[in-house]
Amino acid sequence: MKQYNVAVVGATGAVGNEMIKVLEERKFPVKKLTLLASSRSLGKTLSFHGEDIDVEELKEDSFKDIDIALFSPGGSISLKFAPIAAASGCVVIDNTSAFRMDPDVPLVVPEVNEHAIAQHTKKGIIANPNCSTIQMVVALKPLYDVAKIKRVVVSTYQAVSGTGQKAIKELEQQVLAIYAMKPIEKKVYPYQIAFNVLPHIDSFLENGYTKEEMKMVNETKKIMEDDSIQVTATTVRVPVFFGHSESVNIEFASEMTPDMARKLLKKAPGVKLVDNPSKNIYPLALEAAGKDDTFVGRIRVDDTVKYGLNMWVVADNIRKGAALNAVQIAEALVKKYL
């Protein structure tokens, strides 16, 4: 099997770390792994297949002999370095929001629109969608294919790990401080996140929505390749470490009963149906954490419209929502589209 030189940009972050783990677990055909990060991470080493690899500083000439670069850096690094990497001949799979809505950049969830990967030749960049969008479209697509979707109303319950390692620490330290009856520190979020719920993810826009909410609206249409799907979202931070949960209300164009939905989701790729309310069985963030599947349950009729359903969708935001989806794109890329 052909092997590839792979770089991970943002290697020391929560998603970068997981990317390395997923590459290892899934035995991605790596010839050489290059770990890139800002100069702050110099001196760190990370292990890959039992070997310690030094973290190198991300520079313009970092991509000379790289075939595939998985980007998950902080700030606006992708905006500058993804085109540089692409120009030096590698395919970039970018986990940030920088290029997702660029018409010349495919936005891919392999279970939904793998074929779009072919468009990587346009700019050398493939975008990995927002975590909350990924798990929602994985659950929507099998239903959409049978009954079309007119409208989606989604509310999310998002883990702090989405914001990165510093947010995981912030929740941990606030919980410890509260138990010790000490004052809490707030650096990452504008309000205390421990024992609280914040209706605020990413920054606010003129229209009153947050960027995170508008990502769900716009990215869903692009991935599902249907601009007619109406989506409205409320994205909320909850004091959970790993795993985003979503309440998803769907209005279909034609009949979609809970039984039909359960049958379809049972055999859908990347989905695990967890739906037996009489036994208190439904998807839970704590159980989704560390897993690859998108878990769906609480499927029930919304009888306020002609063809409506409600469901509860949970996935590990760092795995399916980020690192795993990126590596799945890389797998399909090397198998079919390079």
Question: Which residues belong to the active site?
Answer: 131, 244
130 sits near ligand L14 (criterion: CB under 6 A): yes
Q: By rule CB under 6 A, what count of residues binds ligand L14? A: 10
Q: Which residue stretch of 157-165, 256-264, 265-273, 290-298 sits at the interface with ligand L14 (rule: CB under 6 A)?
A: 157-165
Q: Which residue has the tokens 């120009």?
A: 87
Among 41, 135, 163, 210, binds ligand L14 (CB under 6 A): 163
Report if residue 158 touches ligand L14, rule: CB under 6 A: yes
Q: Which is nearer to ligand L14, 7 or 238 (CB)?
A: 238
Do residues 154 and 121 touch, judged by C-beta distance below 8 A? no
Position 133 contacts ligand L14 (CB under 6 A): no
Distance CA(71)–CA(124), nearest Å, equals 13
Contact 96, 9 (CB under 8 A): no
In the complex, least distance from residue 195 CB atom to ligand L14, rounded to whole angstroms: 19
Minimal distance, residue 304 CB to ligand L14, in Å: 31
Sequence letter at residue 289: A
CA distance 174 to 299: 35
From the list 20-28, 156-164, 192-200, 291-299, the region that binds ligand L14 by CB under 6 A is: 156-164
Name the minimum Å distance from CB 129 to ligand L14.
8
CA distance 148 to 139: 13
Nearest alpha carbon to residue 186 among 198, 173, 196? 173
Which residues in the 70-109 window bind ligand L14 by CB under 6 A? 97
Contact between 156 and ligand L14 per CB under 6 A: no
* H or E stretch at 32: strand 30-37
Cβ 93 to ligand L14, closest distance in Å? 13
Which among 5-13, 110-118, 158-166, 254-262 is the span making contact with ligand L14, rule CB under 6 A? 158-166
Is residue 220 at the binding interface for ligand L14, with CB under 6 A as the rule? Answer: no
Closest CA to 153 of 305, 318, 317: 305
Q: Mask 197-216, x = binds ligand L14 (CB under 6 A)?
A: ----xx---------x--x-
Helices within the chain (DSSP H only): 14-25, 77-87, 110-113, 120-123, 131-147, 165-179, 211-224, 258-266, 285-288, 324-332
Asked whether position 135 contacts ligand L14 by CB under 6 A, the answer is no
Whats the size of the chain, residue-wise? 338
Q: Is 272 in the site for ligand L14 (CB under 6 A)?
A: no
Contact predicate 42/55, CB 8 Å: yes
Contact 188, 170 (CB under 8 A): yes
Q: Which residues, 6+ apart, have CB-to-CB distance to 175 below 8 Å?
A: 194, 195, 239
Residue 34 interacts with ligand L14 (CB under 6 A): yes or no: no
Question: Nearest approach, Cβ of 157 to ligand L14 (angstroms)?
Answer: 12
Q: How far is the CB of 151 from ligand L14 (least distance, A)?
A: 23
Interface positions with ligand L14 (CB under 6 A)? 97, 130-131, 158, 162-163, 201-202, 212, 215
